[in-house]
Structure 1
Amino acid sequence: MESTAVSMPGRAHVAVFNVPMAGHVMPTLGVVRELVDRGHRVSYAVTREFESQVRAVGAEPVVYEAPPQGEAPEDMAQGVTGVLGVNLGALPQLEAAYAGDRPDVVLYDVYAWAGPLLAAQWKIPVVQLAPTHIPYDGLVQDFFGLADISLIPGFPELAQALASFGVPGGVHALTLSPPRCVAFFPKRFQRRAHTVAAGEVHWVGPVIGDRSFQGRWQAPEGAGQVVYVSLGSQFNRRPEFYRTCVEALAGPGRHVVLSVGEEVARTGIGPVPAGVEVHAGVPQMDVLAAASVFVTHGGMGSVMEALSVGVPMVVVPQMAEQRVNAEQVRDVGVGMYLPREEATADALREAVLALGSDERVAGAVARMREEIEAAGGAEVAAQVVEKVLADCPLAAR
């Protein structure tokens, strides 16, 4: 396999491993930039579609090939089995890419298991990067609808790989109790935080770096109240939902921005009235900065980006993990949970109108925004990595 990595100087070689999903790559890029700015050399293992984003933050892409993923299945057990296939397919490619270039520490996404497998082979420390809830009591049932994590199809194959690479504890230790973890959300948003079993946890909040590579967006003059609608990058083939949003939200004094994904943008959602924009994708932080309400699927990245700029949400989740996030949004008071089977035009309109005038929600959003700002972000995440390097001097060369 051909690596695109190019050697560059630095105090340590930090290797980041990720899966080809925007919601998992984007939260890490600000940490990578911080590590690069501190003088470290960072390599980043991911597929070619994310190569430009990785280069933009100063890291060296180490590109592996993976089959096209398409839209993720709503069944998370099925989805994780597919991600396992990506990892096992990437493993020999990454072994070859890093041959003779062993890193000093591995940072890995919660689903990028090639990272800890290779770290065990290299005998170097690991830090998990969590864009979603750290495992808590009940997560396996909430996310996967299973009694035990080992019942996920394909996990016997993962267990074999763990044993062959010398990773102790099997799939339970790997997936449910990582030794140290950096979470990209504040602790108060963590589901059942008191039951988390990870060894060392740092809730650093969302890390939102430079997004200029996404372009720019600005509300038209006199746009009025901006309402932003997005179902993210994985579950966005929902033209009926977008048409319902237009029916619910278009009208005088309101400007509606819909991010619908490439496929729906190509086929269209039918005629839209003035004051409605339909895009394949948008510079999300620009739109959120102008928005008064966000209608979202409830992916953790989107939720945290909205809260970081003080925008309340109507969450219409599309799968189990997003339902957990929707419940958290409701429970901490920063928005509303609207089950998708109840997301009629009338219900969406009422929810958006209610959020726009609810002072309790505005106060809760402001408090969560303060917690995000206090969590430390990229600086604290980089300090965690540097402490691991300091505590494991034999790892560094």
Structure 2
Amino acid sequence: MLKNLRPYLSLIKENHDFRRLWLAQSVSNFGDWFGLLALYAIISRYSDSEFLLGLIIVVKMLSLALFSPFAGYLADRFNRRKLMIWCDLLRGVAVLGIILVQSVEMLWLAYVLTAVQMMLSAVFEPAKTSSIPNVTSEENLTNANIISTATWSIIFTTGMAIGGFATEWLGTDLVLILDAMTYVLSAWFVYRAAIPQTRLSKEELYRTRNPLKGIKEGLSYLLNNRHILRPSLAKGTSTVFLGGLVYLLIIVSEEVLMMGSIGLGLLYAARGFGTGIGPIIGRRLFSDEKDWVMVMGLAITFCGLMYMVVGFVNELALMLIFVLLAHAASGANWVTSTVLLQKRTQDTFRGRIFSTEWLLFTIGSSISTTIASLILEFDIMTVKPLILVYGGIMALGGIVWSFTITKNEKIYQEGF
């Protein structure tokens, strides 16, 4: 076991700048998930509407989506290290402000501050992902992304599980204070890291001084390079179904399992653990990068099928197993698409490419969650049959991917 982990441990130990960037991600991610259930609890405290609970997820996703094109432009034009530091500090302030929500009349503030937090995350995430190739060698790039995804999963697992108990025992205010502190610590780690970056030339800076021009150039670059476009669609294709399914886990915990925040923490912990082990298993089964676009379609299909099983069962233990398996496939999809984008995209466009990917990801999740919440709100369908429908359509989407995107990737590979 230790032998299998040695490449990952060596990268963390020997690469100081990657380690600091990784630590920054770790502590800020812990705060994200640690504080998320507190936000759900605040909304539930002042409203019993399933739509309003789903709306906070939509606000998070739409805020990311609407700001993503401009965020990618910023990540390519300005110093990514400084951008990440400012984003962390301002996110801490936004999270701390949610404490002011002390009545139903103030509930709107939670949505506004969450939107601000996500707009800042829209800048931080492409800046961080674009920086990973600049602090690691090409041969260590896949390991670095597996570490990043596995860490997200471990932090997600512990953060959500601990957050569920902490929200019950410590109260929402203290949880939000701790959440804000994690952003400050993250900013400190980024400050201590040296993050190289290929800067735009003077001519490029002048030509793209208008943000719309810079955004348009990034979009043209993506559309004109189909070998980059294909992996950029993977997360969006998955989340247009998976976003609603993740939201439905909240309702399952409340109405089927009758376990509230603790049940949701356990379901989300299974989700996180699966996301962590999925890329490691996927790399062992499919070590050749030429197969990775095919793997993305298989992962989408498998994830949908596993959620269909979740729609059939009612026991917590079985739900945890199949949620874990579903998100193991999702985690493999995430890492393979990220690494291909990092390798195939030149540094000066990387921020815009990853922000476009985030745009597709967040729009897909927002649409999926909105539809699911409205179906439940108007009693069109109950939660378990809805999971079956979403899972089935997701599996079908993966099959369509295999006959279209995978086919085009094979033609591209044969051209080499």
TM-score by length of 1: 0.30
Greater strand percent: which structure?
Answer: 1
Greater helix percent: which structure?
Answer: 2
Q: Which has the higher contact order (CA 8 A, sep 6+)?
A: 2
